[in-house]
Amino acid sequence: MTTKGVNEVRGVVFGIERYAVHDGPGIRTLIFLKGCPLRCLWCDNPESQKIKSEIFLITDRCIGCGECLAECPQGAGTLSKAGQITINRKLCAGCGKCVETCYAGARVLVGKCMTVEDVLGEIMKDLKFYRASGGGVTLSGGEPLMQAEFAREVLRRCNERNIHTAIETSGYANWDMIEAVFRYADLVLLDIKHMDSLVHRRLTGVPNEPILENAIRVSELKVPMVVRIPIIPGFNDSEANIRETANFVKKLRTVNKIELLAYHSYGSPKYKRLGRRYRLRNLRSPTGESMSRLKEIVVSYGIRCEFF
């Protein structure tokens, strides 16, 4: 959701992470934008999926005072006889009034409307680190292309200041949108989650044909790319899938490496805060040995590879 005022483009940002070192070269500032067309089973930022602002309800902090209920214009909160408060997510508008009145800190507003100038102000605070390390700014999410106008303007303004820019993307978007945004990106970090479209749909909710087609077209733009594969044990870590992915990546002329990202469950507590169930709660992270094995497969195709 991107809105334009008289002179400024606005977007919804749910986080800014400083001193990142795994999302492009050097020390980077990550800007997390809300909104994503995918619903990956393992998503560790479920608060990124909807564009609108949302409320984290941290039940362990809630004292059941009921003050938040009186402040909600939509009447989205209820208090049970046991003193437990819940949120009707269909009614909640994410206005944050309940957050303001919750002195126990049980409610957190996720998603803030910011102007491009607001974001640039945060970026410029880290300018000396970019200059010293060869770093820059990375747009992440969610899917930054869900707020294409806002993403484009942030990257363009960074270009004007000679700040290195990168964008993390699923590649699942209209080509015109991709072309408009990526012209201001110095690096594209593209996820390829599975090469079988039916399996990809089962894992993410969308097919992979548009993603693979866009990957080829991005390489033709001569924009440097890094392909990232989230390694989800039992879902996409088979030797056959990794070999097929590596074989596809070899055709992309601007890809300089593949990064294998080991699954972790660090984001699982967020689902409870959103009143949702985490479907992979019993899944374990891949071992270092298994990650090394997958790396060797990629390297055998003549592609540089790292894993995290």
Domain match, 61 and 209 both? no
Look up the domain containing 46 and give its range.
3-51+112-307
State mean pLDDT over 224-253: 97
Domain match, 103 and 132 both? no
C-alpha distance across the termini of the chain, in Å: 32
**Is pLDDT above 90 for 1?**
no
**DSSP per-residue string spanning 36-57:** -S---TT-S-GGGSSSS-EEEE
Largest CA distance in the chain: 63
C-beta separation of 219 from 163 below 8 A: no
Domain match, 86 and 143 both? no
DSSP state of 286: P
β 164-169/54-57 pair status:
unpaired
State mean pLDDT over 118-142: 97
CB atoms within 10 A of CB 60: 7
State mean pLDDT over 128-145: 97
Q: Cis peptide before 94, with omega less than 30 degrees from 0?
A: no
Task: Encode pLDDT of 60-104 as tens digits.
Answer: 999 989 999 999 999 999 988 778 899 999 999 999 999 999 999
Domain match, 171 and 226 both? yes
Task: Encode pLDDT of 184-197 as tens digits.
Answer: 999 999 999 999 99
pLDDT of residue 7: 53
Domain match, 150 and 65 both? no
CA dist 295 and 121 (Å) reads: 39
Average pLDDT in the chain: 95
Domain containing 232 — which CATH number?
3.20.20.70
Domain match, 204 and 239 both? yes
Structure-block tokens of residue 17: 């992470």
Q: Considering its fold, how many domains does the chain have in total? A: 2
**Is pLDDT above 50 for 220?**
yes
Percentage with pLDDT > 70 across the chain:
98
State mean pLDDT over 224-251: 98
Cα 83 to Cα 43, 102, 173, 270, distances in angstroms: 31, 15, 44, 22
Task: Give the rounded distance of the alpha carbon of 56 from its chain centre.
Answer: 17
pLDDT of residue 80: 82
Reported as half-sphere exposure (CB side, CA atoms, 13 A), residue 33 has a value of 28
State mean pLDDT over 114-124: 98
Domain match, 43 and 129 both? yes
Domain match, 144 and 186 both? yes
Domain match, 32 and 128 both? yes
CA dist 36 and 146 (Å) reads: 6
CB atoms within 10 A of CB 93: 14
**Is pLDDT above 60 for 129?**
yes
Domain match, 37 and 160 both? yes
C-beta separation of 166 from 23 below 8 A: yes
Structure-block tokens of residue 182: 């990526």
C-beta separation of 48 from 141 below 8 A: yes
Domain match, 146 and 102 both? no
Domain boundary among 89, 110, 131: 110
Domain match, 232 and 169 both? yes
